[in-house]
Chains A and B, each alone.
Chain A
Amino acid sequence: MAYYDIDAILLDDQIVPAHFNTAAMDLGVLDPSTPSPHIDQGTETDIPLWLALSLAKRSIVTLRSPSFFGESFQAHLLADAQVLNIHDKCPFFYELGVKLAKLTGNWALPAVLKKAFHTRYLRIVDTSINLGAADYSEHIRKLTTAERNLFHLGHAAAAEVLRYKTRDTDRLAASAVVTRKRRRAALGKK
């Protein structure tokens, strides 16, 4: 259910640069550079997506693209998407890109994002199912939230296949809630 989805809520908290077409009463809190409680016409400031959507609908603000959707980063994406740390730019890079493309009418952007994701997808799936028990923190460092979820799904599926092959699925196990508690208790004793 998207309404309760925590990732969807965090996506709505991403910051986008906006240009105020009109003055706005009481919105001064959004602009740290002004001491006034209100915002003047023509102000440029960053606002969270959840507010940006409703303000843009009434043309009170015009949304701008963040720098990581600019020409230069797009060129990087097209050159080699695999080596880029997209998580540092924005943990919800693709989702934010698609939402903004709809609002700003930048139809070239989704195509670039799709191509970049396609390039990265193969590597993500490949590592996730072949890594086994090795440490994966380095592998997921550069991945966005959605890519990380994808990685974890692949990783868990590979582990399940292994469990099936070794016939470990026949064994009934204690609930995860219980085993974690026991591990903590054992650590406490030492």
Chain B
Amino acid sequence: MAMYGADALEVLKELSTATRLPVYRAKSVSKAVDEVIHLHAEVLAILRERPEAARNDASVTASVIFHHAALLRNKRIMLAYHYHRMQYLQNLRWEVGAILPPDVREATSALETGFFSAYDRLLGDYMTEVDLNLTEDLTPPKDLFIEVRVVQDAGTIITEAGDELTLTRNSTHYLRRSDVEHLIRQGVVEHIVH
């Protein structure tokens, strides 16, 4: 029999070595939850049936400790797994904005997608309230205007000044940094430095 928590640890390892968000392992997660329920039942059964032995007979105490420690370990691995994935999604909101890139969307569970939109709403509400776009100028700006080249056709945008601007591939523009910063981070246009 495989050791308790082995499966859970596998998905955590996969997450820690991956360079992009791996697919959510729903099967391993539900297996870990089943294990926890089973381990919990074992502990309760021993305590109910042999309360005296659990305290005085070291061999029975060992069994209680074993099941309890395995339960806690499973819980810790699962919490860490979800915690790190949530951190990744939070960062993404700051990096690329309110829309999840398609490959990330495929890798997330329904709950995680829900978390992302809830986080997006929370951040959005806060930024409306303080009337400031916090995701702008993640690095302190040096120039108000920057030159950019369009990498992929991106339709028409409206600048802060209210002008319409069509972004066609390979055209270059001299624009207010705040107008294009999010487009640079999304990789639609690239910043040209001379």
Given the interface pairs A22-B58, A25-B60, A174-B187, the reply to whether A54 lies near B69 with Cβ below 8 Å is yes
Chain A 1-30, CB-CB to B under 8 Å as 1, else 0, gives 001111001101100000001111111010
Chain B positions 151-194 with a Cβ under 8 Å from a chain A Cβ = 181, 184-187, 190-191, 193
Closest to B16 in A: A6
> Within 8 Å of chain B (Cβ to Cβ): is A173?
yes
Chain B interface residue bracket vs A: 35 or more
Given the interface pairs A50-B69, A54-B69, A177-B92, the reply to whether A182 lies near B187 with Cβ below 8 Å is yes
Closest to B42 in A: A26
CA distance A167 to B80 in the complex (A): 38
Question: Which A residues fall within an 8 A CB radius of B?
Answer: 3-6, 9-10, 12-13, 21-27, 29, 38-39, 48, 50-51, 54-55, 58, 60, 167-182
Shortest distance between the CB of B78 and any CB in chain A (Å): 11
Given the interface pairs A22-B59, A24-B63, the reply to whether A181 lies near B184 with Cβ below 8 Å is no
Question: Could you say which of B84, B181, B185, B186 has the most chain A C-beta atoms within 10 Å of its C-beta?
Answer: B185
Closest to A169 in B: B139
Shortest distance between the CB of B10 and any CB in chain A (Å): 11
Task: Kindly specify which of B27-35, B95-103, B113-121 makes contact with the partner chain.
Answer: B95-103
Pick the contact of A172 from B59, B80, B96, B181 — CB < 8 Å?
A: B181
A175 neighbours in B (Cβ, 8 Å) = 95-96, 185-187
A12 neighbours in B (Cβ, 8 Å) = 73
**Are B187 and A58 touching (Cβ within 8 A)?**
no
> Within 8 Å of chain A (Cβ to Cβ): is B146?
yes
**Are A181 and B103 touching (Cβ within 8 A)?**
yes
B13 neighbours in A (Cβ, 8 Å) = 6, 10
B25 neighbours in A (Cβ, 8 Å) = none
